[in-house]
Amino acid sequence: MTESHTSPGASGDALAPEADTWTVGGLTLSSRVLLGTSRYPSLQSLLDSVDASGTQLVTVGVRRIDLTESGGTSLLSALRQRHSAERPLHLLPNTAGCYTAREAVLTAQLAREALETDRVKLEVIGEDETLYPDAIELVKAAGELVADGFEVFAYCGDDPVTARRLADMGCAAVMPLGAPIGSGMGLTNPYALRILREILPDVPLVVDAGIGTASDAALAMELGYDGILLNTAVAGAERPPQMAAAMRHATLAGRLAHLAGRIPRRLYAEASTPEAGRIELRP
């Protein structure tokens, strides 16, 4: 899988996320939280959540915002003001709301021109009830965008055939869902997610959609995923900035647990105290 440039060791630097960077879409990031920017109760709540999460990559819905926004109170302006050399914050436009490859490609091209970035989170939705991706249209759009020089972050289902196809065609990241978008159901099929990690060991994998709380984020990272993408779990929480902070810590904890290497699961107990030297009491 895509490991860190410098894996944290047993010393104090094990708790320093900056010691565990990863590379995706031409970016080297220390944060493994990707954050969506829609449906927050206020712009200030969003900005506080961005800060609390520690994210360095935020998604913006191209079809849901005004790309011509200007002024300090607009979403794009406020996010750009958060960017600095010390604390980078990059924009990842997404094609949310697209139902065909043609729609998604045109939306991505519009985003590249307006936001001056080749990175795009590719969503091609199949139907309205579950918001599951349309695998056929998704693969078609991904192929066109990769050929056009885009760094494609592809939102997909958890089936290995589609995921491998997206990886083989050169997507920057493959982003399988944990559960339907906005459901908060957590990782409903961790078995499938484990398979994807095993068959795509060198591809950046990000769990996208379905995470509801911090334990879901920790589990995703324990499975060896490179990052998580959140929106509703934070934006819909009673106190979004606090949930964003919880996700930040859970992601770090899960990542450290993965690097540490968990003990194997056993059907029966195994005593932690050695038998040697045990005191024997006789009547």
Burial class of residue 127 (count of CB atoms within 10 Å of its CB; 0-12, 13-18, 19+): exposed
The b/e string for 59-71 (b: 16+ C-beta within 10 A; e otherwise) is bbbbeebeeeeee
Consult the annotation and say whether 231 binds a ligand: yes
Instruction: Please state the separation of Cα 92 from the chain's center in Å.
Output: 12
User: Strands 119-122, 27-29: parallel, antiparallel or unpaired by DSSP?
Assistant: unpaired
Burial class of residue 149 (count of CB atoms within 10 Å of its CB; 0-12, 13-18, 19+): exposed
Consult the annotation and say whether 94 binds a ligand: no
How big is the chain, counted in residues? 283
Consult the annotation and say whether 108 binds a ligand: no
Consult the annotation and say whether 209 binds a ligand: yes
Is 140 assigned a catalytic role? no
Candidate list 32, 112, 119, 121, residue with the active-site label: 121
CA nearest 124: which of 139, 114, 111, 112?
139
Consult the annotation and say whether 182 binds a ligand: yes
On whether the CB atoms of residues 184 and 232 are closer than 8 A, the answer is yes
Cα-Cα-Cα-Cα dihedral of 220, 223, 227, 233, to 10°?
Answer: 0
The span from the CA of 45 to the CA of 80, in Å, is 16
Q: Report the catalytic residues.
A: 121
Annotated binding site for 1-deoxy-D-xylulose 5-phosphate: 182, 209-210, 231-232
